[in-house]
Structure 1
Amino acid sequence: MNAAPADQIRLLDVQALDVRLQQLAHKRKSLPEHAEIESLTKDHTQLRDLLVAAQTEESDTAREQTKAEQDVDQVRRRATRDQQRLDSGAVTSPKDLENLQREIASLAKRQGDLEDVVLEVMERRESAQERVAELTERVSSVQSKIDDATARRDAAFEEIDAEVATVTKEREVIAGSVPADLLKLYDKLREQQG
């Protein structure tokens, strides 16, 4: 097909605008913020998983601490009750008196052991609470980085999209001045050749 030199020049202008549109599409896909957001999102997911595990551990130790404290209270009440029986003089048999004194001593040892358990559980719970606080802070920090990268990416998108709109309008104007059969042939060849 023979085309007028002026039509050929306008067609070259259309081609230049198409190349620019492809460049803008590539730029939009390959913004560095995409990789940054993806990496940060992976980190965020891992930290959230660790946070959930730490929160679960803290919750479990809280329940364990409550149970251990209840056990201590139960032993303490029983020891108090036995001591009151001993002090009241209601137990007169020497054998029963000896058994009651042994039980009070045994309960005192048991109470000491249980209080040690409570202290150990409290230490583990405090450690879990510190871990929860640390991970919560880290999750929040990563989330703010994700938000920042997303905002930068969206700003770049707006800039690129505005330029795409301008170039597309310019292409429409120039393409409108190129003969339809020549533009159709150009579009066909462009599609085949990339």
Structure 2
Amino acid sequence: MCNLYLVDDDQDVLDSLKWMLEGMGYAPQTFTNASCFLTQVDLHLPGVAILDIQMPGVDGIELLQQIKQQDSPLSVIMLTGHGTISMAVQALQHGAIDFLEKPADGDKLQALMKKASLMSLDAYQHKEKASSVAQRIASLTPREQQVMHAVLAGKLNKVIAAELNIAQRTIELHRQKVMQKMQVNNVAELAYLMAITKP
């Protein structure tokens, strides 16, 4: 189950939300302001953050922007009081997955939590995979990278050899090395891996 964070400057709202979520089997951590949240939470791990839009100091939208700037896999749900629907819509444009009106509806919250948890885990796994692929690419020599890009462009060994002005046998060896280091068996697998690294 994902980590769950609640950020709201109103202690009563925090208490009632926490109580509702604990009844659903979650164990939320609560924060009364954005600063506490940012200093205590690892933004690089999967999780769900429910943020109040209107808070003194750093408000929910600014906090959402800071989370997104960190390229965090956290899923963010905004909590909005009466009259802040337009701000909630603005939050969606900044990457929040949805918003809840106060007082939160239990059924809607439960459905949103499932969706948000899955989205966060997917984002985290994608980042982990992309990071692993980036490390493999970094292990290639400049020449191996040249050969890899030429192979991905669909060029034959003899064409690559002519373009780089080296023996075809050398290209074959480089190609073999690329496949080993990238941990793939064929060009299709290599192309799939490279697609993962694209934002």
Give the structure-2-normalised TM-score.
0.28
Q: Which has the higher helix share?
A: 1
Larger radius of gyration, structure 1 or 2?
1
Give the structure-1-normalised TM-score.
0.28
Q: Which has the higher strand share?
A: 2
